[in-house]
Amino acid sequence: MIDIPVVDSPDVLNRLLLEFRPLFGRRQFRQFCRYIVSGIASSTRSSAHLNGIFVEHTNQSNLNRFLRNIPADGIFNISCSLINRNCSGPVLSLDDTILQRNGKHIDGAQWIYDHSQGKTVYGMQYTTSVISGNEGIFPLSMELKTDDSKIDLQINTIKKAMGAGLRFSTVVFDSWYFSSKLVKFLESMGKDYVSEAKSNRTVCIDGKWIRLRDYANTLDLKSMKSYTVNGKTYFMKAITTRMKNAGIVKVIVSRRINSLKFFVTNRTDWKVKTIIGKYLRRWDIEVFHEELKQDGLKHLYQRKHATLLGTAKMSLLGELLLEISAINSMGNHLKIRKGTPEPRHKQVAISILTDLFKAIENKGRSFLDAILKSIEEPYRSTRNIYGGAINS
């Protein structure tokens, strides 16, 4: 499948791209803009393919060199600033995802048990985080797991985010991340958290330690209160108690037919609806994972750690800029709901196509011939295919 040839960065993204201009020299900024735009315009993550989308392109080795040397900290700090300016009601959601790979000699690839598939797969594991806001889903981090634990990687991300001034007060995560190390760190930073808990966690009830599932078995429906969540009825019981390795917490026992779940927060003053409402924001990171894989990261071609990490971080940034441009520039018809990327991608594609038609109209047949030659030679430099003046 041939992607739409790109003449220049579309107007819907230019203002946001300029936010990152201080991080780069002239040539590096050109590569930066081109990678972001081509990454949004195409679902293929081959460096050669993305490089060849632009009508005038240099040798792909320039793009690979750029990916190995991106100013990751500077990009992260500016991303946090953009999130602050475009997001209200922020909740930080933590998780991880596996990107399956094929082939040998791929840095960071290993056999990993994938709970979603119920089997071991060969791939790379990334810790991820997003800010769930009232306006949309704002991707924040994507770190390749190598030697550090997932808990340590997430703690480092939170430290970096706080250092960059990112505004959030609540962190949500699933039961895997509900560890003593993480919750103690969050409390030391003055952050609230809501997590699901495994049924074998122990709490103190009437002076005795008991597992959550055993405590739930002592409850009947008369002692629980019904709540409607997303059109479904649940029976819940909230208690404030002491939990091993977590301290004083509020625990919610949630029961439905064939479903028994436990939720924990350090905010013992919050009501049940508030706690459940906060935890439901965690779903946004699952939506983000699906978008990432649909947008090309499911099929990576790079093998070296630095290039893989650069690809992941630039893809993450592309998703963030796409979300913010939709919120700010593309009108209410694109604000259908969170987790609906198709209209946003469509608007960028329309902008790219409009620029292409305008360039053909203004520059005539010779420009059209240049486009055709660029398509025929996607892996060779076409920098001077139109006298180096396509963007002039």
Quote the CA–CA distance of 170 and 34 in Å, as a whole number.
35
Q: What is the pLDDT of residue 389?
A: 45
Task: Look at residue 38 and tell me if it is in a domain.
Answer: yes
pLDDT at position 336, please? 41
Per mean pLDDT, which range of 63-67, 80-84, 263-267 is the poorest?
63-67
Q: Give the N- to C-terminal CA distance of the chain in Å, as an integer.
A: 29
Among residues 95, 108, 85, the alpha carbon closest in space to that of 142 is found at 95
Domain count, the chain: 1
In a domain, 359, yes or no: yes
The four Cα atoms 111, 139, 297, 64 give a dihedral, to 10 degrees, of: -100
Residue 308 clears pLDDT 60, i.e. is over it: yes
Report pLDDT for 227: 93
Q: Is residue 364 part of a domain?
A: yes
Please tell me the predicted confidence (pLDDT) of residue 297: 56
Distance CA 340, CA 66 (A): 30
Q: Does 152 reside within a domain? A: no
The pLDDT of residue 55 is 58
Report the alpha-carbon distance of residue 90 to residue 138 in Å, rounded: 9
For 142-158, what is the mean pLDDT? 92
In single-letter form, the type of residue at position 151 comes to: I
The pLDDT tens digits for 82-112 are 999 999 999 999 999 987 777 666 766 777 7
Residue 238's pLDDT is: 97
> pLDDT at position 11, please?
74
In a domain, 31, yes or no: yes
Higher-confidence residue of 351 and 199: namely 199
What pLDDT is stored for residue 67 in this prediction?
82
pLDDT value, residue 1? 47
Dig out the tokens for 247 from the structure.
């301290």
Q: What's the confidence (pLDDT) of residue 37?
A: 79
Domain encompassing residue 37:
11-69+341-376
Is residue 203 domain-resident?
no
Does 110 map to a domain?
no
- Per-residue pLDDT averaged across 312-317, rounded? 87
Q: What is the pLDDT of residues 184-240, one digit of tens each?
A: 999 999 999 999 999 999 999 999 999 999 999 999 988 999 999 888 899 999 999
Average pLDDT, the chain: 81
- Whether residue 173 is predicted with pLDDT greater than 90 in this model: the reply is yes
pLDDT higher than 90, residue 123? no
Q: Taking a C-beta distance cutoff of 8 angstroms, is the pair 225, 244 a contact?
A: no
Q: What is the DSSP letter of 188?
A: H
Cα separation, 305 vs 307, whole angstroms: 6
pLDDT over 90 percentage in the chain: 46
Does the pLDDT at position 49 exceed 60? no
- Tell me whether residue 243 is in a domain: no
User: Which of 97, 197, 200, 198 lies closest to 141 in space, CA to CA?
Assistant: 97
Work out the pLDDT band at 165, boundaries 50, 70, 90: very high
Q: Has residue 354 got a pLDDT over 80?
A: no
